[in-house]
Amino acid sequence: MTTANDALHAPSHDHAHEEHHVSFVQRWFYATNHKDIGTLYLWFAFSMFITGGIMALCIRAELFQPGLQFWQPDFFNQLTTLHGVIMVFGAIMPAFTGLANWMLPLMIGAPDMAFARMNNWSFWLLPPAAALLMISFFVPGGAAAGGWTLYPPLSIQAGMGMDLAIFAIHLLGLSSIMGSINIVTTVLNIRAPGMTMLKMPLFGWTMLITAYLLIAVAPVLAGAVTMLLTDRHFDTHFFKAVGGGDPVLFQHIFWFFGHPEVYIMALPAFGIVSQIIPTFARKPLFGYVSMVYATCSIAILSFMVWGHHMFAVGMPASTQLFFMFLTMLIAVPTGVKVFNWIATMWQGSMTFETPMLFSIGFVCLFTVGGFSGLILAIAPVDTQMQDTYYVVAHFHYVLVAGALFSLFGATYYWLPKWTGYMYHEGRGQFHFWWSMIWFNVTFFPMHFLGLAGMPRRIPDYNMQFTDFNAMATVGAFCFGLGQIFFLFNVIHTIRGGVGKAPASPWEGANTLEWEVASPAPHHTWETPPSLEIVEKGLKAQGLLGDHHE
Amino acid sequence: MQSTLQQANRKLAIRMMVIACMMFGFGYVMVPFYDAFCQVLGIDRANSDFANTSAAVIRVEFDTNVDDGLAATLEALDPVLAAKPGGLLKARFRLVNKSDQPLKVRAVPSYAPARSAGLLQKLECFCFDALTLAPNEQRDVTVVLLVANELPAELGAATLSYTLHPELAPS
């Protein structure tokens, strides 16, 4: 078995030879290798991130000062809608799936994902979906303009841009479901010998639970938008009040999907920082088992709290209380996680390389987002805050400082493994501090705007909101500029960076992916890692023998 | 060995696909479930009766008061009703005699705004006659209103208030 491992460190002539015969088109368009597909996913997600980001900047430009400067209100609504849809379904979710594709097989000692061809298919559904969304700007009536939640009656009355959005969501959902089936099967069936479920890296756990969540809720969203589609064109009346339907029903179905979706975008982030923090604190993750249980509890609770998005639609007080208390209950497992991350850092030999900075930034800012979430969970407060900028501030703290920062951290952490080169540390740290500062300049004032009553999804506003809006716009443009720098950073690393990376560039990293050479060869773990290697890593992670299964 | 793994993978994938299909169906099952849920709990939801946008809908609220010192209660069982022009409206009230003595009472109606009296015409009302309640008797009574065919567009809501007075013996 050791020989198999040695073979991974030395470039394999067989594989190198085999790759020579593969053309660019064959390698990338017919890709079945989990690393290639992971790379495709990550580049796709980044391009969507830039696309959605440009829309965000268009929104912020309009909001720089009161009055209408650049866009008509209808186009402004199209921008907010597509910004949301693209960031959620096109950027964050595919980025996590890409990471899972790249890293999961390496981390659990599998040769590839369970269904390599389906993997190719689930990726190639994404570009057509993105194309449908982009084309929708140019059809009569423009793109969908009812907000990313697509509430009827707006979404029933909208033009054909909404149909394109619905088809795009179908494709994106199908892609997510296939990707999730792949992840679940890979994690459950092809782990290395000796790696039992409770010895698996936490990233594996969070991706597994996320995949289950997606399999459970993505079809529900597909159902909801299908009902929208038939209401629009086939004379059904699910949500049309004229025919006896109820628009509020759409909100129930949508948020039954939508709330778990929030955790679909948060749990993988939890997994990533749970890998990074122990590495740079040089200590095993504190409370591994409680982390696993906390992840499961969050997932289960996420199915029971959708009503907190709908406090303002008119709900019996008892139902409001039910949703309010259950929502607050989610803070408990989330608190367990934050506690464990801090306890992992406690008395560790910490160093502050870029991935660690992004992870600590994640913990701090995600906690702020969590607290504003707790405030919004209180039904009477939520009634006041409904659809104000406070909500916008809250979910951007969760999704930008949460999901996005963890993705940046993951990129810097695994970039040496992907490219075989080290990134420029100073530039990485500059990217972190730049993002950290301008993120807060952008989104922190939105709390004040919301508390003062500024509504979201509005292109014009009262004079009193001018200063904080101007501040947020300046922040947003600087934050956006920083991401170009990130792209430059990554390309610089791909082209050689600051030198070759060793198999394990991080002193405290003990998971299996660091056992293979950098860059990871095209084929890894074709022979599963030996028990010896697995146990060595598990011992270093404090996972051997000191907890029950 | 390889084929066993492949079989296990396939089995798991099929199970996941079945779950996904069932969850797609679950979205549709929520439709009748939601209807039933709202009906059982009496949750006020969008009603197709209100969808006739060509006719103004009037909201009628029922208010109740009891004279000081009168040992009785009057409660509107349907405090808010929506009425269509030309339609009939039936509202229920609950009268309770809280004393151990027989009680003779009369309910006196009043409208706000006052002109709605002409638009909501009483066809039948418990206020037409004095009522005698046995000791501790609880009685449900009704009022039936005929809504005028032509309602002024600006009249969105009307309140019909009843005040319960003791019926004085004719002098």
Is residue A155 annotated as a catalytic residue, yes or no? no
Q: What is the pLDDT of residues A394-426, one digit of tens each?
A: 999 999 999 999 999 999 999 999 999 999 999
A397 contacts: CB under 8 Å, gap ≥ 6: A365, A366, A368, A369, A372, A443
Give the ipTM of the model, two decimals please. 0.86
Q: Which of A180, A231, A249 has the highest number of chain B CBs within 10 A, making it the mutation to test binding with B? A: A249
Query: Active-site residue among A51, A175, A354, A524?
Result: A175
Q: Does A6 score more than 50 pLDDT?
A: no
**Residue B171 in this model has a pLDDT that exceeds 70:** no
Give the pLDDT mean for A56-60: 97
Catalytic residue selected from A80, A136, A155, A176: A176
| A253–B23 CB contact, under 8 Å | no
Residues in chain B within 8 Å Cβ distance of A247:
46
* Span A216-274, pLDDT tens digits: 999 999 999 999 999 999 989 899 877 778 889 999 999 999 999 999 999 999 999 99
A190-226: pLDDT as tens digits: 999 889 999 999 999 999 999 999 999 999 999 999 9
Does residue A419 contact residue A361 with C-beta atoms inside 8 Å?
Answer: no
In this prediction, residues B24-50 reach a mean pLDDT of 78
Active site residue A12: no
CB B72 within 8 A of CB B103: yes
For B165, list phi and psi in degrees, rounded to 5.
-120, 155
Using a CB-CB cut-off of 8 Å, the residues of chain B touching A180 are 16
Helix and strand totals (H; E) in chain B: 2, 9
Contact B12 A189 (CB under 8 A): yes
- CA–chain centroid gap for B74, Å, is 16
Confidence check: pLDDT of A546 > 90: no
b/e sequence A76-90, b meaning 16+ C-beta within 10 Å: bbbbbbbbbbbbbbb
Sign, CA dihedral A125-A126-A127-A131, equals positive
- DSSP helix, strand, coil percent of chain A (3-state; round to 5): 75, 0, 25
Written in H, E and C, the secondary structure of A108-175 is HCCCCCCCHHHHHHHHHCHHHHHHHHHHHHHCCCCECCCCCCCCCCHHHHCCHHHHHHHHHHHHHHHH
Q: Determine, for residues B51 and A184 on separate chains, whether the beta-carbon distance falls below 8 Å.
A: no
Of the given ranges (A92-96, A239-243, A347-351, B3-7), which has the lowest mean pLDDT?
A: A239-243
Q: What is the pLDDT of residues A307-363, one digit of tens each?
A: 999 998 878 888 899 999 999 999 999 999 999 999 999 999 999 999 999 999 999
Task: Choose the most confident range, by mean pLDDT, from A472-476, A526-530, B89-93.
Answer: A472-476
Chain B partners of A254 at a C-beta cutoff of 8 Å? none
Mean pLDDT of all residues belonging to chain A: 92
Average pLDDT over residues A115-125: 94
What is the distance between the alpha carbons of residues B151 and B139, in angstroms, rounded to a whole number?
A: 33
The distance of B96 to chain A (nearest Cα, Å) reads 28
Indicate whether B29 pLDDT > 90. Answer: yes
pLDDT of residue B84: 80
pLDDT at residue B112, rounded to an integer? 87
Nearest by CB to B8, which of A115, A189, A218? A189
Q: How many residues does chain A have?
A: 549
A interface toward B at CB cutoff 8 Å? 114-115, 177, 180-181, 184-185, 188-190, 215-224, 227, 238, 241-249, 252-253, 256, 314, 316
In Å, how far is B93's CA from the nearest CA of chain A? 23
Does A148 qualify as catalytic in the annotation? yes
- CB-based contact B9 A189, cutoff 8 Å: yes
Torsion of CA B22, B26, B28, B29, to 10 degrees: 120
Contact A138, A131 (CB under 8 A): no
Mean pLDDT of A265-290: 95
Across the interface, whether the CB atoms of B34 and A247 are under 8 A apart is answered no
Distance between CA atoms of A194 and A531, rounded to whole angstroms? 6
Chain B residues inside the 8 Å CB shell of A219 = 20-21, 23-24, 26-27
Distance, CA of A273 to CA of A172 (rounded, Å): 26
Note whether A241 contacts B25, CB cutoff 8 Å: no
Q: Report whether pLDDT(B17) > 90.
A: yes
Name the CA dihedral angle for B19, B21, B27, B30, rounded to a multiple of 10 degrees: -70
CA–CA separation, B155 and B58 (whole Å): 7
Percent of residues, chain A, with pLDDT higher than 90:
83
Active site residue A263: yes
The Cα of B25 is separated from the nearest Cα of chain A by a number of Å equal to: 7
Q: Residues A134-185: pLDDT tens digits?
A: 999 999 989 999 999 999 989 998 889 999 999 999 999 999 999 999 999 9
Top residue of B16, B22, B33, B57 to mutate, by most chain A CBs within 10 Å, is B16
CA A395 to chain centre: 13
Dump pLDDT digits (tens) for A472-509.
999 999 999 999 999 999 999 999 989 999 999 999 89
- Whole-number pLDDT of residue B39: 79
Q: In this predicted structure, what is the pLDDT of residue A160? A: 92
Q: Which chain A residues touch B44 with a CB distance below 8 Å?
A: 314
Dist. CA B126–CA B91, nearest whole Å: 11
Measure the CA–CA gap between A22 and A18, rounded to whole angstroms.
7
Q: Which residue is listed with tokens 């009302």? A: B125
Residue B34: closest CA among chain A residues belongs to which residue? A249
Which residue among the candidates A51, A334, A344, A504 is catalytic per the annotation? A334
Which residues of B lie inside 8 Å of A (Cβ-Cβ)? 5, 8-9, 12-13, 16-17, 19-21, 23-28, 30-31, 34, 41, 43-48, 50-51
